[in-house]
Amino acid sequence: MINTLYSLDALGSSRALFLALLVGFGFGFALERAGFSSSRRLAGVFYFTDMAVVKVMFSALITAMLGLSYMVGFGWMRLDQVFLMPTIYGAQIVGGLLFGVGFVMGAWCPGTAAAGLAAGRIDAFVFLAGTIGGSVLFNELFPVIRSLYTAGDRGTQMIYATVGMSRNGFTLAFTLAAVAAFWLSEWAEKARTGRGPYLGSPFLKAFSLALVVLAGGLFVLSPATAGASAKSAGAATVTATDETVLMEKVEQALDHIEPEELANRLMAGEPNLVVVDVRPAAEFNAFHIRGALNVPLAQLAAALQPYQNRGPIVLYSNGMTHPAQARDSLQRQGFGNVYMLTDGLQGFRDRCLTPVSLRPEPLTTVDAARVNAWRAFFAMPTASAKVGVATAPVSAAMPRVVETDWLAARLGTPGLKVIDLRPQPEYNTAHIPGSLSLNVESFRGNIGGVPSMLLPPPMLAAQFSLMGLQPLDTIVVVSGDKLYDTTLAGMAFERLGHMDYVVMNGGYAKWAQEGRAANAALPAVVESGYPARRDADDFTVDFRTVAAQLGKPGTVIIDVRPADFYTGKKSDEARAGHIPGALNRPFSEDVITSPDKAVTFKPIDALAAAYSQMIPSKDTEVIVHCRTGHQASQTVFVLKRLLGYSSVRWYDAGWTEWAARPELAIANETQDLTGRK
């Protein structure tokens, strides 16, 4: 199996740049050989005087299409190892229409103009200058046309699926259409110019026949390879008829589960639902649906034996082909409960995990809340092995907590912003190159008489703007010896709906201790206009909400202050004690502090075990508080972002407010109400 640089996420490596240069060389050579260094020849296609564009382009397209199909058919590579551009109807229709006008006017396109420039064409030079200008123009107009840029975004769409054909069927039809276009082009040229050297020539006949035979050959190849993989799983050979039946079922969506449905059922914690990712381990480790098992195709039947004919087994990969084959093979072995995820992982990401702010159409509040809930639930790393299959380390899948080497490997990536929360003198002395300094207390202030409250969205957005943060940035927060600074910053990000933030485990102490890069330079910051979203914070509650939950079964209140404050032995507030019924789990128990003050989260397993003692299920209503909301932010983060509790809320005002309101009941050592322990 070939690994493409794209699939290895190595398109940015210097080796990739060199290989791209070589591929480009071949590209330019072929274009020039074809006569695409002549604008007159290119324009000819629109006047039927020189149809070289059709002949060259479709010969190339069909060659590459067939070549790729054979590569995939022989099992040498997979289609998902190639970057598949999304289908965005609005942008591509309008873009295509504009492009056609530009093409016929300029008589160049970007690639051929490079060839034309090489062949000394001044018009190609002028055209390229225009293209650069047009790109700059696009950038300047982007805020105005942003909605068009994403209009009709359907994610990765394959044409054969769109038109309801099998891949091989469409490939053959497309090849036949190209051959017809070749003959029509020859005929048109002959009619128009009197020249038509290839019309009816033995060459064109042989070439046409070769393409059609190769396209037809795929029908012979695909069942054979499908059979081979099925055999290795210990099943009978799959025939072409089965494939057809299967594709029909696929079209009728009989054996599908829609991404939204899967997301909801997973979040609901359906006990017998098994989700299986059939992609290679490397891809699984990079990202997978939370809770999915990673099972190689060959071991599928054996690995899934315990789940046979019990709850639904949902298979997915990036597309349809692999799970379809796998499902067919499982069915032959008596599995009657196998489903495929509609549109695969890509569909799941597009339909469930695309942030509300990036969606082409506005969503209703209900739908937006649903999407936010999905994102919160699925954007989380979990160890997810049930079958004894090797799985990723906890932080590998779209991490919430990253290690120092993760950051070191990504420093300088555009869109990656590092925020250092240590006291300013420490930052000034040395910090991670490019990192921004922030005193996290600047995110808090007095609101309605209550001190130390997280500021409202416009004030946070103003600060984000001054720091040059943008909505699409990935923010890495780095703490000093208070890891809970990072999670308080996280509350600010989440209040503005900025979910793409991660906490660096161990903070700056670990970074420094490992001798990683540091300097004292202040970063260059360009002020941005961070939007002040007001609808993202659905997790902060006030004392009324907490008071209303009192005595209600089913809600767990967790007080994360040190035990002495919880019991009332110590107090630095109006009253001593805790909210009646609240459980005590000091925030400090969720972290480990090394001798040199590097604070890291405890292992997920330990955290999960501790909280499963306190909270009955993942969807139990939980309210977390401390004195001012700072320490509680860490517990909220642990519960929501690391452990996947879906309904965790944050009582920011905390004990400061509760204790100061005499009408609110309290409990303390003398009158304790023990909760579940």
Partner 1 sequence: MTTEMGNTRRNPKPYWNPYLAGVLLGLVLLASFVILGAGLGASGGIARIGASLSMCVAASHTLGSEYFGKWGAKPLNYYLVFMFVGTFVGALFSALLANRARIQVERGAAASVPHRLAYALAGGVIIGFASRLAQGCTSGQGLSGGALLLTGSLVFLVCLFASGYATAWFVRRQWHD
Residue list 79-98, contact with partner 1 (CB under 8 A): 79, 81-89, 91-98
- Tell me whether residue 6 or residue 331 sits nearer to partner 1 (CB atom): 6
Site for partner 1 in 413-432 (CB under 8 A): 413-415
Minimum CB distance to partner 1, residue 145 (Å): 7
Instruction: Give the total residue count for the chain.
Output: 677
3-class DSSP state of 362? coil
Candidates 22, 254, 366, 390; binder of partner 1 (CB under 8 A) is 22
Residue tagged 């920011």 (tokens): 652
Residues 199-238 that bind partner 1 (CB under 8 A): 203-204, 207
Query: Which residue in this structure is represented by tokens 């999670």?
Result: 487
* Choice between 134 and 234, CB closer to partner 1: 134
- Interaction between residue 74 and partner 1 (CB under 8 A): no
How far apart are alpha carbons 362 and 274 in whole angstroms?
A: 33
43 binding partner 1? (CB under 8 A): yes
H helices present in 338-448, as ranges: 344-348, 365-378, 404-410, 424-429
Residue of 1, 74, 142, 569 interacting with partner 1 (CB under 8 A): 142
User: Rounded distance, CA 520 to CA 522, Å?
Assistant: 7
Non-local CB neighbours of 342 within 8 Å, separated by 6+ positions: 253, 256, 257, 258, 259
| Amino acid identity at 95 | G
From candidates 6, 183, 219, 406, binder to partner 1 by CB under 8 A: 6
Contact set for partner 1, span 469-498 (CB under 8 A): 470, 472
Which one of residues 1, 75, 137, 310 is an interface residue with partner 1 (CB under 8 A)?
Answer: 137
Beta carbons of 185 and 192 less than 8 angstroms apart = no
Query: Is residue 513 involved in binding partner 1 (CB under 8 A)?
Result: no
Q: Do residues 325 and 117 touch, judged by C-beta distance below 8 A?
A: no
Measured from the CB atom, the residue of 160 and 406 that comes closer to partner 1 is 160
Write down the least CB distance from residue 2 to partner 1, Å.
Answer: 6
Q: How far, in Å, CA of 650 to CA of 205, rounded?
A: 74
State yes or no: residue 182 binds partner 1 (CB under 8 A).
yes
- Binder to partner 1 among 1, 139, 224, 242 (CB under 8 A)? 139
Q: What is the DSSP letter of 337?
A: -
Question: Going by C-beta distance under 8 Å and a sequence separation of 6 or more, which residues neighbour residue 297?
Answer: 229, 233, 278, 322, 325, 326
- CA-to-CA separations, 395 to 221, 255, 405, 512, 639, in angstroms, rounded: 40, 33, 12, 21, 16
Q: Which is nearer to partner 1, 113 or 659 (CB)?
A: 113
Nearer to partner 1, 213 or 609 (CB): 213
Window 379-418: contact mask with partner 1 (x via CB under 8 A): ---------------------------------xxxx---
Point out which span in 155-163, 439-447, 452-460, 659-667 binds partner 1 (CB under 8 A): 155-163
| Residues in region 455-474 near partner 1 by CB under 8 A | 468, 470, 472
- Cβ contacts of 156 within 8 Å, gap of 6 or more: 84, 85, 86, 87, 318, 319, 346, 350
Q: Count of residues binding partner 1 (CB under 8 A)?
A: 147
In 3D, which of 644, 664, 646 has the Cα closest to residue 654?
A: 664
The total of other beta-carbon atoms located within 10 Å of residue 523's CB is: 14
Beta-strand relationship, 450-454 and 444-447: antiparallel
Q: Which residue number, 16 or 660, has a Cβ lying nearer to partner 1?
A: 16
The interface region with partner 1, picked from 107-115, 256-264, 602-610, 656-664 by CB under 8 A, is 107-115
CB of 73 to partner 1, least distance (A): 14
Residue with tokens 């209600």: 552
State the minimum distance, in angstroms, from the CB of residue 155 to partner 1: 10
Note whether 164 binds partner 1 by CB under 8 A. no
Exposure letters 490-513 (e unless 16+ CB within 10 A, then b): bbbbbbbbbbbbbbbbbbbbbbbe
Footprint of partner 1 on 362-381 (CB under 8 A): none
Q: Nearer to partner 1 by C-beta: 71 or 176?
A: 71
In 3D, which of 618, 606, 539, 552 has the Cα closest to residue 579?
552
| Binding-residue pattern over the window 518 to 537 for partner 1, x denoting contact by CB under 8 A | ------x-xxx---------
- Closer residue to partner 1, CB minimum distance, 1 or 366: 1
Q: Which of 74, 75, 99, 409 binds partner 1 (CB under 8 A)?
A: 99
The residue within the footprint of partner 1, chosen from 1, 73, 75, 115 (CB under 8 A), is 115
Q: Does 184 bind partner 1 (CB under 8 A)?
A: no
The yes or no reply on residue 159 touching partner 1 (CB under 8 A) is yes
**Contacting range for partner 1; rule: CB under 8 A; set: 43-51, 274-282, 400-408, 636-644:** 43-51
Cα distance between residue 539 and residue 622, in whole Å: 10
Residue with Cβ nearer partner 1 (175 or 555) = 175
The site string for partner 1 over 47-66 (x = CB under 8 A, - otherwise) reads x----x--xxxxxxxxxxx-
Give the pairing type, strands 599-601 and 621-625: unpaired
Q: Which residues pair with 276 in a beta bridge?
A: 293, 315
2, two tokens: 């070939």
- Residue 463 or 668: which CB sits closer to partner 1? 463
Distance CA 483, CA 486 (A): 6
In terms of CB distance, is 18 or 551 closer to partner 1?
A: 18
> Is-contact 516 479, C-beta < 8 A?
no
